Structure 1
C-alpha cells in the first residue's frame, strides 16, 4: 500500500465537540479521512468510538466545530457510504431470511424500491459473499449461522451497496483469530484494488495493525470527556499528527 495516491479528502473534522445531555464526550476533534486508506479507531470502553464513527458518517451533528464531507468522487459520481453497526448480528434462530436474500437487500438503494431484481444485483450479491468467504452459505437461513458468520454477511450486505466509504463498528465480534485475520486481509485487498476507504472501530488492534494505514486513538482529556489525541501512521506514508486544541 505504500506509495498509494490518497488525493481525495472524504471527511474533515475541525475542532468538533459533541456530547449527550449537558456533558461533552468528544472535544477538540481534528481529523481527516482520505480515499483509499484503512483506518482504525481505538480506545478504552466508553471512549465514544461509536459516536465518532457516527459523526464521520453524518448520523450525528456536532455541538460545535465543522464536519465537511465530500459528496462526489474525482470522476463526478456520487459517493456512497456503507455502515455495519455494532452487534447488528443478533438475529435469533427463527430469523426467516436466507443469506442471499439478506445481502440482496443491500442493493435496493441502487434504484427504485419498486424495480425488479436484475442480473447486476445478483452479481453484486455473489461478489460480496465471495469477498467475505460466505458464498457457500448463500442458501442457509441466517438464524442457523454462528455469530461470526452473521457478522460476515452483514459486511457482505454493506459491500453490496458498492460503498466508497465503509464504516465498521467492531466487525470482528464473534470471530476467532483466523476469521478476523481473513477479514482484515480481504478488506485490505479491497482498499488496494478498489480504492475503498475503511474506517473501523476495533479492540482487536494487534490482529488488525499489519493491515492498517493509520490508527486514531481516543484518550481521556482531563477529568471528563474524550478526545482524538493521536493519529499514528502504520505504513510510513502518513505524517503522524498530534490533535489538540
Structure 2
C-alpha cells in the first residue's frame, strides 16, 4: 500500500452506536475518512460493513453519536458522492431500461434548468461505459445482462456522475479475476491521477492490497464484541477500537 498526503476529512463519525431492533451492530465507533485515498472496508459477514456505508452517507441515522459528511471541498465547490450499493439482484430479466439509459440517469443531477443533455454529458456517459468495458452493450436491456455485466453498468452510472468520492459496496461481485484487476486499476487511477476518493467494501484484501492507502477492518467476536480497527499505508494500526 502507498502513503499519500491527506488533504481534508470527508466523513467524521464520533461515538456512533447503531443496531436493528434490540440488537446493537455498531458500538461506540469513532472514525475519520480522508479525501484523496483508496480505502477498503473489510471484515466477515455480519460485521456491519454495509451498515457503516449507509450511516456515512446519511441513509441510516445512528441511535447515538454524531456523523458529519463534508459536502463542500476546500475551494468551495460541492462534493458529489457516487454510491454503488449491492443492487445486481434487483435487475431481473423483465427490467425494461437499456444500459445507456440507466447510465445517463447518473448525469441528471448535473443538468441545467431545461434538463437537456449537452455534449459534455454524452461524453461522460460514453467514457464511463468505455472505462468498464460496457460501451458495446449500451443498447442492451439491463435485465438481459449477466450479473458481472450488471455490476459494471452500476459502476459506470456512478462514474458518469464524475464524483469527488466514489463509495462501492462489494463491487466485484460476479466479476472474474481479469475484470476485478481491471476495476482495481481503474479505481487506482481515479485516486492517483484525479485526486478523488474511493471507499470500497471488499472481502478480497489480498487482491486489492497493492492499491490501498488504508484499511478499515470490522469484526465481531463472542469474547471481544464488535470492533473497528484502522491500518494505514505503513501497516500500523491506529485510531479507535471498540
TM-score, length-scaled by structure 1: 0.91
Q: State yes or no: 1:47 paired with 2:47.
A: yes
1:215 touches 1:231 (CA, 8 Å); kept in 2? yes
Query: What is the CA–CA distance in structure 2 between the aligned matches of 1:200 and 1:184, rounded to whole Å?
Result: 10
1:33 deviation in Å? 0.8
Show the counterpart of 1:244.
Answer: 241
Query: What is the CA–CA distance in structure 2 between the aligned matches of 1:111 and 1:221, rounded to whole Å?
Result: 48
Cα deviation digits, residues 55-95 of structure 1 (max 9, x gap):
11111121111212212111111111111111335422232
Cα deviation digits, residues 98-141 of structure 1 (max 9, x gap):
21111001101113585122212101101111221222222222
Q: Which moved more, 1:90-99 or 1:22-31?
A: 90-99
1:199 deviation in Å? 1.0
Query: What is the CA–CA distance in structure 1 between the aligned matches of 2:86 and 2:224, rounded to whole Å?
Result: 24
Which segments of 5 or more consecutive residues in structure 1 lack a partner in the other structure?
none
1:188 deviation in Å? 0.6
How do 1:144-163 residues align onto structure 2 when only pairs under 5 Å count?
A: 144-163=144-163
Query: What is the CA–CA distance in structure 1 between the aligned matches of 2:209 and 2:38, rounded to whole Å?
Result: 10
Q: State yes or no: 1:126 paired with 2:118.
A: no
Q: Which moved more, 1:115-124 or 1:132-141?
A: 132-141
Show the counterpart of 2:173.
Answer: 173
1:147 deviation in Å? 0.8
Show the counterpart of 2:189.
Answer: 189
1:176 deviation in Å? 1.0
Cα deviation digits, residues 25-61 of structure 1 (max 9, x gap):
1012111111111111111111111100111111112
Q: 1:221/1:121 Cα in 2 relative to 1: closer, same or farther (>3 Å)? A: same
Query: What is the CA–CA distance in structure 1 between the aligned matches of 2:65 and 2:108, rounded to whole Å?
Result: 34
Where in structure 1 do 4 or more consecutive aligned residues deviate above 4 Å?
221-225
Which segments of 5 or more consecutive residues in structure 2 lack a partner in the other structure?
none
Cα deviation digits, residues 172-193 of structure 1 (max 9, x gap):
1111111111111100111111
Show the counterpart of 2:28.
Answer: 28
1:22 deviation in Å? 2.0
Query: What is the CA–CA distance in structure 1 between the aligned matches of 2:115 and 2:239, rounded to whole Å?
Result: 49
Q: What SS does structure 2 have at the residue aligned with 1:194?
A: coil
